Structure 1
Amino acid sequence: MADPVRALLLRHRELCERAVDPLDIAAGLEAYGVTDRTAARFRHRDVFSLAEELYARVPRAAEGETRPPTPLPTPPQTSPSGAGWRVWVPLTLLPGAVVAAALAGAAVTDGALRTAVGVAGAAGAAAALAGCLRRGPLRARARRTAPAVRAWPVLLLLAYAAYGDGLLAAILRGGPDEPWPLAPAPLLGLALAVAPAAWCARLFAVRARRRLAAARSLRDVAAAVRPLLALAVVSYAVALTALLAAAGAAVAAVRPAGSDAYGGGSGAFAAFGDVSGFLAAVALGVLLFAARLLTVHGFPEPAAAGLLGACAAEALAPASLLAGRLPGCEVLARPVEAAVVAWGPGAVPALVCGVAALALLARAAAVLARASAHAAP
């Protein structure tokens, strides 16, 4: 009678020979689509049991030699000690510092000098953010990096956060016939939130790896990882909300007297126009965090789809308002007009980014609960 486990071993021999323990084999098999139901066809109760037999069957060291089991490695540069920690922690603080310095410089300058300060600040913030994405917990591991997630969808979403609400308001007033104002508070708050994003991503990666080492089945992995994902997302959302409120209060405190550039709210919300603008910034931050978590753990395609979908939906809002000016096309503008009149211009990005973030989080709850999402590169 044929040995089905031997056939599986031959099919995945490279994976089994490269593995340092049965857990690596279990994660690899899951990545290839092997489930507990599949393992039952090989007369094993689950993938972990099947992986243990495959690990035992693969020839190891020569006779008389011993090879102690290698401990599961922590994902690169996520340890809080050592040189890696001393590099990536300051990096996560740089985007917020650069944006704050640029906004402070713009507040005390005008004309061409203000433009130069703004351009320099944008370039510096982009460089600092790129450094954060190449080192530390927000870095996608080399084996899992894919070209699906580009920088431009993120830049478009940030540009809309800075200018989109003003553009919608200008179109509704019959324009745009003059430059619409910049809303700096969302940019400052999101830049400051890079640091908690890195720490929350590290919390999730390290603890998920530890839970994976103690799991005995794929169901155990999912049951252990999903609460950790929820904890990381909620922790980041709380930190993001606090930083956005602080950024809004700071921007509102230094805005020129009588300025209507940020709407007519009060307190921290004044820098966002109203509560809907504040909620839009929170939704955007959660969307970007969910997309980065998926990318870091080897799923850049759904992250790219979520970001591109949000970009397209936000671009559709001003386009529909402009299209509604054409004869007989007034109906195209009515949904956006109704939303803006009822809840303010921030309602559009709040709804778009909120829906996209929920979709990515639902996808993350499914794919990041897999053992293969946390295997060492």
Structure 2
Amino acid sequence: MGQDADAARDGVHGAYRSVGRRGAVDPVKALMHRHRELCERAVDALEIAAGLEAQGVTDRAAARFRHRDVFSLAEEMYARAARQEESVSRAETPGPTRARAYWAALALVPGALGAAVVAGLRLTDGQPRLAVAAFGALAMTAGLYAALRRGPLSTGHRTTNAARAWTCWLVAYALAGDGLLSAGRDGGPDGPWTLATAPVLALSLACAPAAWCTHLFLARARRRLNASRGLREFAASVRPLLTGAFGLFLCALGGLLALCGTALNESPAYAGAGALGALLLPARLLTARGLTHAPARALAGAGAAEATALATVFAARLPGCSFLATPVDSLVGAAGAGAVPALACGTGALVLLVQAARTLTRASAHALPCEAA
């Protein structure tokens, strides 16, 4: 938080010292004055606590105001803040229900488009097939963009072009990477290599359970905000929710991979596609909550690892460079071509899950209203 956090702490200490010099016995009143906007817009005490926490106010600072922790201080601030009837009526309007139905339907669009594109590819050949593939890629991109513009995975924070590019590369590798890697190790490719449409179709269908599981997590976390009696209690209660939502999504993705693999008579690529899904969900969830740095780094790291694996296989054909392919050959020989994306994306997913467990269990991550709530 840097300078903003330091400024917030200085403001807290300054408020306490100023009322102390005046001989006042109500230091909380001065703090409420400094955070008037936060107190006026808060819908519960935990939102005030989250706002104070986000600005660097700690339990130690709360002790200066004769409270044991930040939540206790926030509870008093909330109880004493002037509440507006308008905010209560807004919370009771049916608008959020209609919004949830809207984004829940939009989440189905990428999967529907993906199924249509795969069907088109199966029914065409030659030039028409290339046209279907090109149009289908554009349509699925547009559908995914529309699905992510609303709902719990939407974000007001700009996703960098690099993050978008690496995400596209990871999906492209899921489609063609394993086939190209295997062909490269066998001395090819001498012609078109095998494309894995089942994993990509399953990932597009998984957009819906990803949004729904995220909504479930955020909605239940919001309820815990109202029921918790402190920030530590809230964090402890939200960690199982995060783990459960993530596990539920992986189960749904596994079922979709099995279904698509059976329907298309292809390998479901559980390891590679499952690891990619496990990477993309926390990356988007963190980005949606304004935490963009770690997801961008994780996506770049996974994409670079896959690109390096392909590059070393083909670079090994140069005279005297056969040793470059040794690590990839050993990994693929032991676990198959899917081990490359599984290792690359799985490592990134693990890093982001640790980051999510640290940041998404803080009340400040759930303080702002969202369509999932």
The aligned counterpart of 1:321 is: 313
The aligned counterpart of 1:124 is: 139
| Contact 1:284 1:350 (C-alpha < 8 Å) held by counterparts | yes
- 1:162 matched to 2:201? The reply is no
Identity %: 54
The aligned counterpart of 2:341 is: 349
> Structure 2: which 5+ runs fail to align?
1-15, 21-26
> Structure 1: which 5+ runs fail to align?
253-269
The aligned counterpart of 1:16 is: 39
Tell me, in whole angstroms, the C-alpha distance in 2 between the residues paired with 1:134 and 1:69: 25
Tell me, in whole angstroms, the C-alpha distance in 1 between the residues paired with 2:316 and 2:216: 48
1:86 paired residue among 101, 114, 119: 101
The aligned counterpart of 1:187 is: 200
**1:359 CA displacement:** 0.8
Q: Kindly tell me: are residues 191 and 147 of structure 1, through their superposed partners in 2, closer, same or farther at Cα, counting changes over 3 Å? A: closer
Q: Kindly tell me: are residues 245 and 11 of structure 1, through their superposed partners in 2, closer, same or farther at Cα, counting changes over 3 Å? A: same
- 1:101 matched to 2:116? The reply is yes
The aligned counterpart of 1:238 is: 251
Q: Kindly tell me: are residues 38 and 146 of structure 1, through their superposed partners in 2, closer, same or farther at Cα, counting changes over 3 Å? A: farther
* Aligned residue type for 1:351: L
Tell me, in whole angstroms, the C-alpha distance in 1 between the residues paired with 2:298 and 2:75: 38
Q: Kindly tell me: are residues 324 and 37 of structure 1, through their superposed partners in 2, closer, same or farther at Cα, counting changes over 3 Å? A: farther
Encode CA deviations 1:3-48: one digit per residue, 9 max, x unaligned.
4756755654443344344322211111123233442344321111
**1:55 CA displacement:** 4.1
- Normalised by the size of structure 1, how large is the TM-score? 0.83
| Contact 2:44 2:226 (C-alpha < 8 Å) held by counterparts | no
Q: Over aligned residues, Cα RMSD in angstroms?
A: 2.6
The aligned counterpart of 1:43 is: 66
Matches within 5 A, 1:21-36: 21-36=44-59
Tell me, in whole angstroms, the C-alpha distance in 2 between the residues paired with 1:182 and 1:357: 24
Tell me, in whole angstroms, the C-alpha distance in 1 between the residues paired with 2:323 and 2:61: 53
| Contact 2:275 2:342 (C-alpha < 8 Å) held by counterparts | yes
**1:333 CA displacement:** 1.8
Tell me, in whole angstroms, the C-alpha distance in 1 between the residues paired with 2:88 and 2:226: 12
* Aligned residue type for 1:220: E
Tell me, in whole angstroms, the C-alpha distance in 2 between the residues paired with 1:214 and 1:158: 40
Matches within 5 A, 1:145-224: 145-148=157-160, 150-224=163-237
| Contact 2:115 2:201 (C-alpha < 8 Å) held by counterparts | yes
Tell me, in whole angstroms, the C-alpha distance in 2 between the residues paired with 1:358 and 1:327: 38
Tell me, in whole angstroms, the C-alpha distance in 1 between the residues paired with 2:64 and 2:313: 58
Tell me, in whole angstroms, the C-alpha distance in 1 between the residues paired with 2:43 and 2:172: 46
- Normalised by the size of structure 2, how large is the TM-score? 0.84
Which range moves more in the overlay, 84-93 or 193-202? 84-93
| Contact 1:72 1:213 (C-alpha < 8 Å) held by counterparts | no
Encode CA deviations 1:102-132: one digit per residue, 9 max, x unaligned.
1111112110001111111111111111111
* Aligned residue type for 1:134: R
* Aligned residue type for 2:222: R
**1:347 CA displacement:** 0.5
2:75 paired residue among 39, 48, 52: 52
**1:322 CA displacement:** 2.7
1:278 paired residue among 254, 263, 270: 270
Q: Kindly tell me: are residues 31 and 190 of structure 1, through their superposed partners in 2, closer, same or farther at Cα, counting changes over 3 Å? A: same
| Contact 1:21 1:69 (C-alpha < 8 Å) held by counterparts | no
Tell me, in whole angstroms, the C-alpha distance in 1 between the residues paired with 2:312 and 2:138: 32
2:127 paired residue among 104, 112, 118: 112
| Contact 2:179 2:195 (C-alpha < 8 Å) held by counterparts | yes
